[in-house]
Structure 1
Amino acid sequence: MHLTAPATRRTGIRDTDGMAVASFILGLLGLLVLNLFLGPIAIVLASIALWRGTNRRGRALLGLGLGIADLAVLLAFMQADHTVSWSF
């Protein structure tokens, strides 16, 4: 009986769950600050978590949606101000 295989699998799932939560948090923060950087990072983390089969699929999907929303907000403010940066 191999005891190392299930432990490795649990670590992998725990890592993907962490990626899903991190993508959600970074996507949420990206709506307020640094959306140019945090949006793409949230998208990448959510995509990797979904690809690896996370147990927190809902959070990964929210992180993906928020990452895309970060870039949409950036684009909207760029169109309105004709600049790359924006502030409140």
Structure 2
Amino acid sequence: MQLTAPTNGRTTRTGTRDADGMAVASFILGLLGLLVLNVFLGPIAIALAGVSLWRGTVRRGRAYLGLTLGVADLAVLVIAMQLTHTVSWSL
């Protein structure tokens, strides 16, 4: 965690704020990945959730939800590939 001193004299936790942003981004990308580009967005959501949890985010619930949605993205891809007997799928 890195502390910086802005011009108003108060210190902010940029590391925690960045981790919170990664947790939210993980959730959004995981949710979006259920519909489109799950082969790319699922692993990105998983990685962002892992990094945000490792950095100690305050939004742990959102990070865990992003992690779950990232795994669900990959599960949807595998199920769709098994049902259509192809390597890709579309809506």
Instruction: State TM-score, norm by structure 2.
Output: 0.87
User: Which structure has the highest strand share of the two?
Assistant: 2
Aligned length: 85
The ranges of structure 1 where at least 4 consecutive aligned residues each deviate by more than 2 angstroms after the TM superposition are 3-8
Sequence identity (%) = 78
Corresponding letter in the other structure for 2:35: L
Q: How much is the aligned-residue C-alpha RMSD, in angstroms?
A: 1.7
- Structure having the larger proportion of residues in helix: 1
Counterpart of 2:66, as a letter, is G
Q: Please say if 1:36 is aligned against 2:42.
A: no
In the alignment, structure 2 segments of 5+ residues that lack a partner are none
State which of 23, 26, 30 in structure 1 corresponds to 2:26. Answer: 23
Q: How does 1:65-76 map to 2 (within 5 A)?
A: 65-76=68-79
Q: Does 1:64 align with 2:63?
A: no
In the aligned structure 2, how far is the partner of 1:69 from the partner of 1:47?
15
Cα distance per residue 1:37-85 (max 9 Å; x no partner): 0000000000000011100000000000000000000000010111121
Instruction: Report the alpha carbon displacement of residue 7 of structure 1 after superposing the two structures with TM.
Output: 3.5
